[in-house]
Amino acid sequence: MKNTLRVLRAERGWSQADLGERLGVSRQAVNALETEKHDPSLDLAFRIAVLFERPIEAIFENPHHKSV
Amino acid sequence: MAFCPTEASGTAAGRRYTIRTLAFMAGYVAVNVAAIFGAFDDVKAPGSYALALIVAAPVIGQLWATLKLIEESDEFVRALMTKRMILASGLAIAAASAWGFMESYAGAPHLPGWLVYPLFWGFFGVVSPFVRSTR
């Protein structure tokens, strides 16, 4: 799932490990999210949204947006 | 035989898995060394069945450690490990079943059933580089 996590993280000067610690997941999980190898659960997506103070769809591109 | 996936290395769950696996493998080696040196040679059934289960116990323990790694990891490692374990289990079951039928119908030499355990980890190692996404 396309997302702006890498940009948001870089804006704050956080490493993948830093972001992982804030979200309660591993550095590998953050890397997998950024490289689109893992779609987050709804719970993790909400945690990310709270952390960056943005709605989920401002961070993750809704792949179904055009077909809905 | 078993190994920690790179995705879990460095995490607290990965470290616990490594310690648990090393502990169970140490037990496995100790029991087998005792068996090789004849410690169980004079034991007859039903005691021999109990001793065989003692040899199997560290293997069962190591599989428990793997399931705990899945339980204690974050959602990415959990999904990745689960996919890999299902694939490796399926391949190991398929290979063991095929060999069993070859023994029954084609006179293939008998292989001990415990070989399915290293076979499972062999398949786990083979499929892992191809399963790097949870999608």
- How do the domains of chain A map onto residue ranges? 5-53
CB contact under 8 A, B75 and A26: no
A27 close to A16: Cβ distance less than 8 angstroms: yes
Residue B67 is predicted with a pLDDT of: 95
B117 close to B59: Cβ distance less than 8 angstroms: yes
Q: Does domain A5-53 have CATH number 3.90.1150.10?
A: no
Number of neighbours of residue B5 by Cβ within 10 angstroms = 20
Residue found by looking up tokens 């060999």 in the block: B99
CA–CA separation, B102 and B90 (whole Å): 18
Does residue B52 register a pLDDT over 60?
A: yes
Query: Testing the interface with A: which of B75, B131, B134 to mutate, by most A Cβ within 10 A?
Result: B75
Does residue B9 register a pLDDT over 90?
A: no
DSSP conformational letter for B42 = T
Chain A touched by B15 (CB under 8 Å): no
CB contact under 8 A, A29 and B133: no
Does residue B32 register a pLDDT over 80?
A: yes
DSSP conformational letter for B135 = -
Q: State ipTM.
A: 0.91
Residues in A touching B134 (Cβ below 8 Å): 32, 37-39
Residue B42 is predicted with a pLDDT of: 83
Q: What is the pLDDT of residues B114-125, one digit of tens each?
A: 999 999 999 999
CB contact under 8 A, B7 and A28: yes
B127 close to B87: Cβ distance less than 8 angstroms: yes
Task: Give strand pairing partners of A60.
Answer: A3
Closest Cβ opposite residue B134 in set A24, A26, A37: A37
- What pTM was estimated for this model as a whole? 0.86
Residue B1 is predicted with a pLDDT of: 55
User: DSSP characters for A1-66?
Assistant: --B-HHHHHHHTT--HHHHHHHHTS-HHHHHHHHTTS-PPPHHHHHHHHHHHTS-HHHHB--TTTT
Average pLDDT, chain A: 95
CA–CA separation, B120 and B116 (whole Å): 6
Closest Cβ opposite residue B133 in set A26, A27, A38: A38
Work out the widest C-alpha separation in chain B, in whole angstroms. Answer: 54
